[in-house]
Structure 1
Amino acid sequence: MWDLLLDPQTYPRVFTGIGACSRLDIPGAQPVFEFRIGTPGAGIRVLRVRVVTGRWYESCELHVPEIGSFAALRLTGEGDRSRIAVTFFTPGRVHRHVAGLSNSAVQEWAVKGLRRIADIVRGVPTSVVANGEASPVRRSFGVMRQVTASGVVRTNAQVAVKQLLSLNKWGFNLAGGYAAGAAYSPHRPAVIDERGARTFAEMDERTTALAGAMAAVGLGAGDAVGLLSRNHAGMIETMVASGKLGVDVALLNAGLAARTIEQIVQRHRLSALFVDGDLEELVQYLHADLPRFTTDLLPPFPDRYTVDDLIDMGEKDFRIPAHPGRLIVLTSGTSGVPKGARRPHPKGFATIAALLSRIPLEMESAMLIPAPLFHTWGLAGLQLSTALRSTVILPERFDAEDCLHLVAEYGITTMIVVPTMVNRILDLPPAVRARYDTSSLRHVISCGAPLAGATVLRFMDAYGDILYNVYGSTEVSWATIATPADLRFAPTTAGRPPLGTRVAVLGPDHKPVPVGATGHIFVGNHMLFDGYVNAAPPDEAHGMLDTGDIGYFDVNERLFIAGRDDEMIISGGENVFPRPVEEALAHLPQVSEVAVVGVPDPEFGQRLAAFVVKHEGSGLDPDMVRTYIRHRLSRFSVPRDVTFLPALPRGETGKILKWLLAGGHNGEFPPGMGGLGISGSA
């Protein structure tokens, strides 16, 4: 009990009303922590708390000098029986909500928190949060309420019948989504790219013609094709037409090496390739007998058919398959060669209802998707857009200023991004950001990697409380969603499970750990993937899949991610995760980006190495970085190696490729990633 009480960062996990706690860098003073106190409804107050510890087994005091309040803790007892006495002085000054509480209410609050700490010590299995997942009746009612209230399903009987007939024909997938959109609003723009616009009716008609042409050239149900493309309408049409024909599509990452693409083509036994003209060099050495088609307007060879050529053939007769084609999404490959994950088709309206239960998306609005469509999150945004009958604006490549320009030009309501895009927008000079009217934005939804707490608050301070953070993976789809209110209260949270989702934090025995305790994160919902291609599936327990992440639930049922299971290192016998170090360094005003990895150490077994991108002209050296971390975290968290880089290595989806950093920590970096300076051991 006392070990947990002496660490103020335990308090947000077990006491309601405490959203976050982080240690401040104040050298030569008693430890000072910054607490976020309150609730999203009552308001958030930030307080600095000084921690004064007596003899470790006897006393601890938490002082808030600016308001003259403190709490004193005394521990007495023998053996396994302990008594904790807590004294509060002027607790009503801490927050206006507390001022209205009676002494007995404050006592009850303290006792409940202390009991949760006791639960951690005893190992009480409480870390399971389910949102309607175990109740089919509640889930079905929730789905119907969400889709009718939002307008996904119209109450007009004639229109609803047209929608449902289209979905019944093609399924609850991209093909069904565009067909249903064509039935309801045929002339509404569905996709706008750098070449022009396509209406819902045009998308439905063109993809039917493309499916017929694909059948005419010998493709059919059971085949698989590769799609190597950037974001544009031709890429979407290829996915939709393949689905209508029953052909699986392997979405190839445009940032992969040619050799990796060759391995994927062989592993998946692809029958044809659809490739952008400027990406042809990545497949030029593949077997000449493998048919190739160009997805954009510029074929690299005169005799190469483009998607438009196939559509112009006018072939619309083909056998509708018993099962629509599936999309195979590659995992990020941050630890090596990516695996192919078979994505399931959405089962009814439950998928859109799950996301609407946490994000109040609007019907028939403008959606900007700069996130790559070959990435799970970019693809999910596209699938959402068809259910919402949104007009999707697709830039082929991400550019931070161009995104703001598109927001202003099209009155964008929703933007689908990955975290690096949030950082790039914030890195723009204030004068550049001020040029563009972004007042139309209602939802900026980030997924794919953790967002630093400092980045979350900077973005919302600049653009308003419109940021949503989705935690999920290719394998489990979504797990939790953090709303702006969640992020104001606890900026590093991954949020709560949406409708129809169960999340549990399990120990090595696959039993739930206590709330506040750290364990493996498992997720269950109706969109768990159908397995890898030629790879063993992740661990499974109680109908849930292991995400490969370590984390914990707080008392408010919010999930927090400590880090990847394979990123944890053991340094001098202590378990250490890189993410708290990354979070701490992200608060430094000189730091633009940071990544921390584990590397071998002859003395401690492993140690942390930090890779930092500085803002131009800022002064920061390795000793400053180490001193800063030493004052905020444990001594085992201090990175002994600090390397300054002009940029961090990232994949096409924006994820940091930490395996490259771990391999280059001695200065042996790939071309174009050379260090600006590297420290020796501290």
Structure 2
Amino acid sequence: MPKAANPLDPQTGRRNRLVTQTLAQDVTNFLQAFRPLQKSGIYPDRPSGQTRPIMHCIKRWGMSQAMTVEMNCIRTPDSIALVDDLGERTYKELRDDVWAFAKGLHKRGIGPKDTIAIMARNGRGIMYPFIACGYLGARMMIINPASSGRQVTSMLSEYGADALVMDDEFAGSFEIPDGIVTVIGYGESEGFETMQQLIDEDADIAMPEKARPQPMVLMSSGTTGLPKGVQVRTPKTPRILGGIVDRIPWRPFTTVQLTASMFHGWGLINVNIALGTRSTIIAHRIYDPVQAVDDALKYNVDGIVSSGVFLKSFVDEFEKRGNAKLPNLRFVVAAGNILPQYVYERITDNFGEVMYNFYGTSENNQISIATPSDLRAKPGTVGRPNLGTTVKILNEDGSEVPVGKPGLVHSACSLTFLGYLSPKDKATVRSNTLSTGDLGYIDEDGFLFVYGRADDMVIRGGENVYPKEAEDVIARIPGVDQVHVRGEQNGKVIADVDAWIVRTSDEAGAQLTEDTVKKTVLELLAAHNVPDNVFFVDELPWNDAGKVVRAKLPHPSEFDKSGPGANPSAGIDGQK
């Protein structure tokens, strides 16, 4: 039977380790990670003459973001750390801002082992409290902005929070329980103090002399009920980052455009890498492809970390710029959803061999990364397991499936999560590995392929149908701008499969019909892959992670299909 997650001590996070690694594994992982970390600049090549103050930082703040910022302020204070909606900040300016903000929180009663909830989009509104937790020895609880007001109130009450930092757009959208110190991180709202006010105040108060890093909590984006609280342990060394920089060419002083959401684990990992490599982060609260291309060209970026849907719109905009070039671009990383093959091809056509595909989850942390050569040799792969990560494909009974056969993807690494906050939420552990909830297989060369969520697969005529396969085919049809394919079993022997499509605004889009879509899928796949219905909509409800929010799709019953070959009377903006 699967082993259920046990509740943890919210103050220490020590009680539960769902998966374990031996001392030999830990030592091996450390040795394997050392060279990639040294090459990226996370481990300096040689002592810099600043050893004593750096050691003091490590002793006082441990392996926290605060420690990294302090080290960068010692080593390269004038380097640009952040470019966001409010402008640029050097590492010294960022450090001074966050230190003053942390003092303001401490003056208001927030200290070691307290919980700071953060509900913010990309930029200093999330980065400053993220780093401030390190100075205070506080636990960070990151709330997904897609959560409903009722969910947020429940999370603050049931999981417990001592402070809340939120963007002004969320003020007034939910009830804040009594006793929670509340600060507006981005913008301002009547009745609340702002982060800038606390920074300007620069409170005269002694800070904790030794702030021990606390486990971080990421709140899932559940559509109903109380979202799960995913507890992530704090590493004692940066070796866990070695698995990423071993594959993705981070270097000291990289300029990276981060359009992956910082309120997800993958976004936060890249913040940590950027801080560790003394890099510049370009991050805006709302993704806009025009602004993204403008910034990429202005700052001549070395890397882009994003998701498939954002990368598609980035390339669309970039191609409008004619002879525009990004000569320094070394890597483009997609995560948050399965990378469509056509996006990989367009990125490669425009920028060369720079495309990487990251696969991981909040609970599992990093699992695998596909490099440009992997994607060229094995289209659709998510790569081989990262350094220090074990991946297994298992049946429901926990037995391993043969090479090349599909099963449930399981993984384990030193940052596999500690467990859920609530004892009601269960994790599935088999063979000392944690289930991702995805279906996939490993081929004879050790490459991992992922079909998607296990509950996405449906059965039609005795055949297993994975909606992603039809989605990839439809995306290439002239006239298709965006597409989402979903299967619904609903207790039926033959499942329903439907496709929602946003047309392009040109002649090809105007001519696109349901019949064309179905015929193309039949020609390139098989009859059981052909959608029952094709619905043309004005837009798809993407979330900040680049995934379609299925609950916000118009229901098939809301469409008028009496028109000639299409159903233009309904959509996200045109429902009956």
TM-score by length of 1: 0.74
2:363 counterpart (446, 471, 475): 475
Once residues 589 and 336 of structure 1 are traced to their aligned partners in structure 2, the CA distance between those partners, rounded to angstroms, is 40
**Shift of residue 346 of structure 1?**
2.8
Alignment CA distance shift 1:603-1:155 (3 Å)? closer
Once residues 453 and 281 of structure 2 are traced to their aligned partners in structure 1, the CA distance between those partners, rounded to angstroms, is 33
Contact 1:568 1:577 in 2 (8 A): yes
Once residues 189 and 224 of structure 2 are traced to their aligned partners in structure 1, the CA distance between those partners, rounded to angstroms, is 33
Once residues 406 and 498 of structure 1 are traced to their aligned partners in structure 2, the CA distance between those partners, rounded to angstroms, is 31
Partner of 1:461: 349
1:265-284 superposed matches below 5 A: 265-283=156-174
1:478-510 residue CA offsets vs partner (Å, 9 max, x unmatched): 100011111122231111112111111112221
Partner of 2:90: 199
1:214 counterpart (97, 105, 112): 105
Partner of 2:176: 286
Contact 2:61 2:211 in 1 (8 A): no
**Shift of residue 601 of structure 1?**
6.5
Once residues 425 and 234 of structure 1 are traced to their aligned partners in structure 2, the CA distance between those partners, rounded to angstroms, is 24
1:253 counterpart (134, 141, 144): 144
1:227-255 residue CA offsets vs partner (Å, 9 max, x unmatched): 12222224211111123212222222233
SS in 2 for 1:204: helix
1:620 aligns with 2:512: yes
**Shift of residue 583 of structure 1?**
1.7
1:596 aligns with 2:473: no
1:382 counterpart (271, 277, 301): 271
Alignment CA distance shift 1:212-1:667 (3 Å)? same
Partner of 1:66: none
Alignment CA distance shift 1:427-1:375 (3 Å)? same
1:521 aligns with 2:409: yes
1:406-445 residue CA offsets vs partner (Å, 9 max, x unmatched): 1111121111112211121133373x23364322211111
Q: Quick check: 247-256 or 595-604, which moved more?
A: 595-604
**Shift of residue 337 of structure 1?**
5.7
1:673 aligns with 2:572: yes
Partner of 1:235: 126
Once residues 603 and 300 of structure 1 are traced to their aligned partners in structure 2, the CA distance between those partners, rounded to angstroms, is 51
1:360-396 residue CA offsets vs partner (Å, 9 max, x unmatched): 2111121211222112222111111011110112222
Once residues 547 and 360 of structure 2 are traced to their aligned partners in structure 1, the CA distance between those partners, rounded to angstroms, is 14
Once residues 57 and 318 of structure 2 are traced to their aligned partners in structure 1, the CA distance between those partners, rounded to angstroms, is 47
SS in 2 for 1:426: helix
**Shift of residue 476 of structure 1?**
1.0
**Shift of residue 526 of structure 1?**
0.8
Higher strand share: 1
2:250 counterpart (357, 361, 365): 361
Partner of 2:433: 544
Alignment CA distance shift 1:434-1:266 (3 Å)? farther
Partner of 1:90: none
SS in 2 for 1:472: strand
Once residues 274 and 192 of structure 1 are traced to their aligned partners in structure 2, the CA distance between those partners, rounded to angstroms, is 20
The letter for the 2-side match of 1:509 is D
Alignment CA distance shift 1:541-1:457 (3 Å)? same
Q: Quick check: 344-353 or 541-550, which moved more?
A: 344-353
Contact 1:210 1:315 in 2 (8 A): no
1:172-196 residue CA offsets vs partner (Å, 9 max, x unmatched): 2311211221222122221222323
Identity %: 27
1:377-456 superposed matches below 5 A: 377-428=266-317, 430=319, 432-434=320-322, 436-456=324-344
Q: Quick check: 320-329 or 569-578, which moved more?
A: 320-329
**Shift of residue 399 of structure 1?**
0.9
Alignment CA distance shift 1:337-1:594 (3 Å)? farther
Contact 1:503 1:523 in 2 (8 A): yes
Contact 1:245 1:320 in 2 (8 A): no
1:139 counterpart (6, 12, 29): 29
Partner of 2:445: 556
Partner of 2:377: 489
2:497 counterpart (579, 601, 608): 608
1:505 aligns with 2:393: yes
SS in 1 for 2:495: strand
The letter for the 2-side match of 1:274 is V
Partner of 1:40: none
The letter for the 1-side match of 2:241 is I
Once residues 399 and 59 of structure 2 are traced to their aligned partners in structure 1, the CA distance between those partners, rounded to angstroms, is 40
1:566 counterpart (455, 458, 462): 455
Contact 1:404 1:436 in 2 (8 A): no
SS in 1 for 2:382: strand
Partner of 2:70: 179
Once residues 542 and 308 of structure 1 are traced to their aligned partners in structure 2, the CA distance between those partners, rounded to angstroms, is 49
Contact 2:257 2:296 in 1 (8 A): yes
Alignment CA distance shift 1:250-1:324 (3 Å)? same
Aligned length: 541
The letter for the 1-side match of 2:435 is D
Contact 2:155 2:226 in 1 (8 A): no
1:11-22 superposed matches below 5 A: none
SS in 1 for 2:33: helix
1:639 counterpart (510, 516, 531): 531
Alignment CA distance shift 1:141-1:288 (3 Å)? closer
TM-score by length of 2: 0.87
Once residues 223 and 325 of structure 2 are traced to their aligned partners in structure 1, the CA distance between those partners, rounded to angstroms, is 36
Alignment CA distance shift 1:365-1:602 (3 Å)? closer
The letter for the 1-side match of 2:185 is T
Alignment CA distance shift 1:527-1:646 (3 Å)? same
Contact 1:520 1:546 in 2 (8 A): yes
Contact 1:411 1:440 in 2 (8 A): yes
Once residues 205 and 423 of structure 1 are traced to their aligned partners in structure 2, the CA distance between those partners, rounded to angstroms, is 38
1:2-35 residue CA offsets vs partner (Å, 9 max, x unmatched): xxxxxxxxxxxxxxxxxxxxxxxxxxxxxxxxxx
Partner of 2:44: 154
Once residues 138 and 581 of structure 1 are traced to their aligned partners in structure 2, the CA distance between those partners, rounded to angstroms, is 42
Partner of 1:113: none
SS in 2 for 1:315: coil
1:188 counterpart (76, 79, 84): 79
Partner of 2:563: none
**Shift of residue 472 of structure 1?**
0.4
SS in 1 for 2:434: strand
